[in-house]
Structures are given as structure tokens and as C-alpha cells.
Amino acid sequence: MFPEQVYFYTHSILNFRTLLAADDLKRVIVQSLAFLVQNNLFIVYGFVIMPNHVHFIWKPLSTERKERPGNSFTKFTAHRFKEYLLNNDSKFLDSFYVGKSDRQFQFWQRDPLSIPLTSEQALIQKLNYIHLNPVRDKWKLADLPEEYLWSSAKFYEKAVDNFGFITHFGE
């Protein structure tokens, strides 16, 4: 990812397991996004947290750190997922065991999808796509996009920011 370029980003949980069904683990995602914004690493224009994947519309602000910001996100969340599962569901944690030389557990699929958005029209199309994700028949997590707590839909529909890190794409 290049600084100052807006991206549509999708990352899935390993083998599409529904790790993110638990609200406590959704909060890990929210905390990570808040950290990235507060430390001027990303601007977040939109997001949705689904049971087995996440979608973000974000813009990296700097690549001058030792670690790329996207990698910081996956590393931080993986550590927190492991900690949570150790304390709350060790049997489920075992399903993420990979026993590789560089890690024991893996929570995220390799190679997230990151697509540059080169126009406002493309950004709006992806924003609508992610906000409609929870209401699709496959998931049916809410009746209306703005009713689903774990997305930026309410911010765009009702100007309510429950998270404190979302920036309107028009700003």
C-alpha cells in the first residue's frame, strides 16, 4: 500500500472460521483501528466487521515505520485473539494451531485483498457494498445497514460515530 492512496481492504479469518462472531473480538478490531488512526498511520473512511472477515476503506498516511501499518493491524489483532481464546475458549484456539517455525497460531488468511480506489464513485460503490454486507440474506445480521453496530453505516446514515475514528470521505 502506498501512502495517501485510498484502498478497499478485505481480510478474512483463516479458513473462514467465524472467529469474529464474538463481540469481544470485534472490539479488538475496533481498538486496533482506533490505534492506527490516533497514531496517524491511517485514515478510516468506512468499515464493517463480519463474523469471518473485515472490510475497510482506509488510507495509509506513512510507511516510514519499521513495520507497515497493515501488518501492525494483523499482528496486534492476532496477539489479542490468542490471549482472548486462551482465557475463554482454548478448544477453539486449537483450531488455529499451525505449528509453523515463525508462529504457533494463525488467525488471518495470507494475502489480504487491497484494491486502490481511484475515484469518488469507486469509493462510494465499495462503501455501499460493505454497509450492505450485514443485511444480505447470507448473514442477515440486521434489517438495515445502520442497525448493525459493527460498521460505519450509522455514521454515514445518521451522522453518529460510535467509534471516534471514522472520517467522512468528503472531508
- Tens-place pLDDT, residues 71-123: 888 999 999 999 999 999 999 999 999 988 888 999 999 989 999 999 999 99
**pTM of structure:** 0.93
pLDDT tens digits for range 17-75: 999 999 999 999 999 999 999 988 899 999 999 999 999 999 998 765 555 667 888 99
Q: With 80 as the cut, is the pLDDT of residue 11 above it?
A: yes
Question: How high is the pLDDT of residue 104?
Answer: 92
Do residues 123 and 156 make contact, with C-beta atoms less than 8 angstroms apart? no
pLDDT at position 1 is 63
Q: Which pLDDT score, from 0 to 100, does residue 3 have? A: 66
Secondary structure class of 47 (helix, strand, coil): strand
Domain ranges in the chain are 7-158
Distance CA 117, CA 58 (A): 10
pLDDT for position 129: 97
Model confidence pLDDT, tens digit, residues 116-146: 999 999 999 999 999 999 999 999 999 999 9
How many residues appear in the chain?
A: 171
Q: Are 7 and 117 in contact (CB under 8 A)?
A: yes
Does an H or E element contain 105, and which?
strand 103-105
Cell 485473539 belongs to which residue?
Answer: 81
CATH topology of domain 7-158: Alpha-Beta Plaits (3.30.70)
3-state secondary structure of 60: strand
Residue 99 or 9, more confident: 9
> How far is residue 33 from each of residues 25, 37, 55, 65, 76, measured CA to CA in Å?
13, 6, 12, 17, 10
